[in-house]
Amino acid sequence: MCKTQCLLAAISLTIGLVNAWDIAITTGDQLEFYSNQTKINSEGMRFRDLTALAYDAVHNMLLFVDRQNDNASIFSYHLATKKYQSLVRRRSFENIQGLAFDPVMSLLFWTDTNERSIFWISLKPGSKNELYGNLLIKMDDEMPRAIAVDSCRGYIYWTNTNITKPSIERARFDGTDRKVVVNTDLFMPVSIAVDQRTKRLYWADDKEGIHYSIESSNLDGNDRKTVLSGTYHQPNTLTISKDSVYWVDWGFRSVWKLAKDASADVEPFELLKFSNEVPFGIVANYDISDQIEGSNDCAALQRLSQNKSAINDTFNIPRDIGLFCLHGVKLDGKLECKCSPGYTGERCEVSVCYNFCFQGDCTLSSEGQPMCRCQNGFSGIRCELDACKGYCLNNGVCSRSRQNPTCQCGTDYEGSRCETLKVYTTTNTSVPVTSVKEHCKYVYKCS
């Protein structure tokens, strides 16, 4: 066991190349950097389960969440020095969905969907923070999810995904002046970004059923535009670069890219496709100078892009929590988890349902055993048996649209499995018998 040392070593080995990246992504235990669809670093950083991600272009620092670290929940990673720091102590049942950093005031904000709260810490040298973060806003009915900062005007924006009254809201950095900016035609706004270059908000809405949309408005929520609306994507996080919008999609396990000013008929480009892991967070490498080019109302960021004022993210997170059990309890006095029924793994992080059913949905029996409910046309304990396999003869096409398979036969065959060669009449009407029967009702005298 050499977690911290190995971690530092792994980081310094792998991210030496990182300077020309376009986007960074958290997926599984990896923080990945891409340039032109090519992954620049290919080694893990020995984390476990990386989720929310934010980028601070002033200090060239990434901020991310590891959902399964024993000691801390939020970490920083400095691209220049290749150092990481743990910033916030892990509670135990937090669910941090959104992270955002304001480089002007050196404030880090995050949403906790379980606590229904927004928290913050200051990375200003000499500042005092609670180990678990300082509470900013506690909500009742709302489910805060994504968060973004407007560093030029000093606001946080967040999305509320309570689907009975979803909204996009904003407040000052101290939580005052809270205001709903969008609350119509929303279903589940899962992500949000503030773009200084266009002075607009961008968000992804995971609409009802198979639908989704990427939308934008000005910073007050007015002048709303649909950048794209479509089906089958399940958007999670979204980010903005100088020219494009990128989003992580759980439907296709992909990252999509679309020009900010794309016209309505332009299809998004599938930039990356993941096979095993599911991507979670995404940030674009968006220079401050590009962000504020041509705008005269952001002196604060302008100054910062020239003078990177110091931040101090050296926090002493106590390392005394020990093993963290995701779906289970820690055994008294031991670094060992006792898993709840249906979970296995060192930290009870693996569901027994994981990859169990081939063609069906998995549920747990009362003993915690996986059980499959198979899709039409599949059977077997793991829905591994395909009823269509070898069912239709003579090149018939098999369909699973009903519980039992059905065949669509070629012109010369019939029968439930296309097993019978059609017989043509001796009088040569060049129509099959079955049709002749139909036909002779009107024309022939049928024998």
Ligand X SMILES: *[C@@H]1O[C@H](CO)[C@@H](O)[C@H](O)[C@H]1NC(C)=O
Count CA atoms closer than 13 A to 185's CA, side-chain side. Answer: 14
Q: How far is the CB of 394 from ligand X (least distance, A)?
A: 21
Q: Confirm or reject binding of residue 36 to ligand X (CB under 6 A).
A: yes
Q: Confirm or reject binding of residue 275 to ligand X (CB under 6 A).
A: no
CA distance 340 to 183: 39
Chain centroid, CA 232 distance in Å: 14
Q: Which stretch binds ligand X (CB under 6 A): 158-166, 278-286, 383-391, 410-418?
A: 158-166
Q: 58, 304 in Cβ contact below 8 A? A: yes
Q: Which stretch binds ligand X (CB under 6 A): 53-61, 271-279, 312-320, 437-445?
A: 312-320
Q: Which is nearer to ligand X, 307 or 401 (CB)?
A: 307
Q: Which residue of 275, 296, 430, 447 would you call a contact of ligand X, by CB under 6 A?
A: 430
Q: Confirm or reject binding of residue 368 to ligand X (CB under 6 A).
A: no
Q: In 10 A of CB 91, how many CB atoms?
A: 16
Q: Minimal CB distance to ligand X: which residue?
A: 319
DSSP 8-class letter at 396: P
Q: Confirm or reject binding of residue 3 to ligand X (CB under 6 A).
A: yes
- Phi, psi at residue 393, to the nearest 5°? -95, 170
Q: Confirm or reject binding of residue 69 to ligand X (CB under 6 A).
A: yes
Q: Which stretch binds ligand X (CB under 6 A): 172-180, 261-269, 307-315, 369-377?
A: 307-315
Q: Which two tokens stand for residue 319?
A: 């390392």
Looking at this protein, which amino acid is placed at residue 381?
I
Chain centroid, CA 224 distance in Å: 24
Q: Which residue of 19, 114, 314, 395 would you call a contact of ligand X, by CB under 6 A?
A: 314
Q: Confirm or reject binding of residue 20 to ligand X (CB under 6 A).
A: yes
Q: 157, 146 in Cβ contact below 8 A? A: no
> Computed from CA positions of residues 131, 136, 141, 144, in that sequence, does the dihedral angle turn out positive or negative?
negative
Q: Confirm or reject binding of residue 427 to ligand X (CB under 6 A).
A: no
Q: 135, 117 in Cβ contact below 8 A? A: yes
Q: Which helix (H) or strand (E) holds 438?
A: helix 433-440
Q: What distances in angstroms separate CA 105 from CA 149, 243, 297, 307, one per listed residue? A: 11, 27, 17, 14
Q: Which stretch binds ligand X (CB under 6 A): 63-71, 74-82, 95-103, 189-197?
A: 63-71
Q: How far is the CB of 283 from ligand X (least distance, A)?
A: 17
Pick the closest to residue 160 from 246, 97, 218, 223 (CA basis): 97
Q: Which is nearer to ligand X, 128 or 445 (CB)?
A: 128
Q: Confirm or reject binding of residue 299 to ligand X (CB under 6 A).
A: no
- Phi, psi at residue 288, to the nearest 5°? -60, -40
Contact string 164-193 vs ligand X (x = CB under 6 A): xx----------------------------
Angle ∠(57,227,151) on CA atoms, nearest 5: 30
Q: Which is nearer to ligand X, 131 or 352 (CB)?
A: 131
Q: How far is the CB of 183 from ligand X (least distance, A)?
A: 12
Q: How far is the CB of 424 from ligand X (least distance, A)?
A: 8
The set of long-range contacts for 339-342, using a CB threshold of 8 Å and a minimum separation of 24, is: 340/368, 341/367, 341/368, 342/368, 342/370
Q: Confirm or reject binding of residue 19 to ligand X (CB under 6 A).
A: no
Q: How far is the CB of 81 from ligand X (least distance, A)?
A: 13
Q: Confirm or reject binding of residue 307 to ligand X (CB under 6 A).
A: yes
Q: Confirm or reject binding of residue 309 to ligand X (CB under 6 A).
A: yes
Q: Which is nearer to ligand X, 5 or 222 (CB)?
A: 5
Q: Which two tokens stand for residue 121?
A: 């810490």
Q: How far is the CB of 2 from ligand X (least distance, A)?
A: 9
- Residue count at the site for ligand X (CB under 6 A)? 23
Q: Confirm or reject binding of residue 81 to ligand X (CB under 6 A).
A: no
248 CB-near residues (< 8 Å, 6+ apart): 25, 235, 236, 237, 238, 254, 255, 279, 280, 281, 282
Q: Confirm or reject binding of residue 243 to ligand X (CB under 6 A).
A: no
Q: Confirm or reject binding of residue 334 to ligand X (CB under 6 A).
A: no
Binding footprint of ligand X on the chain (CB under 6 A): 3-4, 20, 35-36, 69-71, 125, 141, 143, 162, 164-165, 307, 309, 312, 314, 319-320, 322, 428, 430
